[in-house]
Amino acid sequence: MPRRVTPALLASALLTAGLVGCSDDTGSAPQAAPQVTAAPAPPTQAVAPTPRVPAGTAPDKAFAVGVRQLKLNRDGKRSLPVTVWYPAAGKPGGQPERSADAAGGRFPVVMFSHGLNGRPTDYATLLTRWAAAGFVVAAPTFPHTARGGDGNVLDVLNQPADVSYVLTQVLALEARAGDPLRGRLATDRVAAAGHSGGGVTTIGLFTAGRDERLDAGVVFAGTALGVGTAFAGAAAPQLFVHGEADEVVEYAAGKAVYDRVPWPKAMLSLPKGDHGRALLSDGAALRVVADTTVEFLRWSLYGDQAAKGRIPTDAARDDLATLDNRL
């Protein structure tokens, strides 16, 4: 069993590492901060287990994107407004249309967790690309770690349970009479993704707070502080994305968690990448990250083998990233 990190140590480490500034809505670079380090991890098993999503084909067209808001509250104490982007009827391209009619078909669900001092809309450029590719993306705003909250870093430990609660509510829309997403959700094909503090949340959903409904994960600039690396349950492919020049969560810390993943996995490394500002605005780096993550989700949630084959090509575009591919 890996050594568990105490809540006090988690708070100290996250505050020291500067994760309270992991989402930059001003566009300015965060100040350099002491880096989070991690002990070397033992090698993973030689043969990874097979993912459980059967072979299939992802949509080969782009969709228009709709957006809506859900007002949720876990246990009456944790307000969790949720932004949902989804494939919509109509002409693709342009801005997401509020409450647009959903496109025909049934689409996998991706739960996205924002970073500390962030909000889901900070990542709209990336998340709308996922929706346009045929995924329903649900992103809660966490009550304490979002921008405008009280900044309680320790509340990251409660966020895996928040995501699981929101997932239950989102999947229930599939059968809810009159709901715009009724009959449009592939409830048996679900992934979790998150950036920085949301990366901690996402890792937690596959370790200490394992949600067995999850079939895959995407971790941006994440670390396992507080949630551990005891990956559990059925095989769920993982894609890690990390900048080698990350000034907040040391690249080696993310790589150490990646090394402990026992399932099919890949790590997209950006040699000049920082803590993740490329995720917040369009540009060459975001295009590489968006295209690589879309193909990963097409493979892991639709079972599309052709998409899996395109992952190395997308990762290598413009020589902005390298890929450790063990999928």
pLDDT score for 23: 56
What does the DSSP 8-state code read for residue 173? Answer: G
pLDDT tens digits, 279-292: 877 799 999 999 99
Amino acid occupying residue 238: Q
| In a domain? residue 183 | yes
Mean pLDDT of the chain: 89
Structural domain range at position 311 = 7-17+59-326
| In a domain? residue 79 | yes
pLDDT tens digits, 231-273: 999 999 999 999 999 999 999 999 999 999 999 999 999 999 9
| In a domain? residue 232 | yes
| In a domain? residue 172 | yes
Q: How many domains does the chain have?
A: 1
| In a domain? residue 43 | no
Residue 80: which residues within 8 A CB-CB, separation 6 or more?
Answer: 72, 73, 74, 140, 141, 142, 143, 162, 165, 166
Q: What is the CATH number of the domain that holds 226?
A: 3.40.50.1820
| In a domain? residue 127 | yes
Which residue carries 């043969």 as its tokens? 47
| In a domain? residue 1 | no
195: left (phi over 0), alpha (psi -120 to 50) or beta: beta
pLDDT score for 22: 58
Name the β-bridge partners of 34. Answer: none
**Other CB atoms closer than 10 Å to residue 177's CB: what's the count?**
5
pLDDT tens digits, 17-34: 445 445 554 333 333 333
| In a domain? residue 46 | no
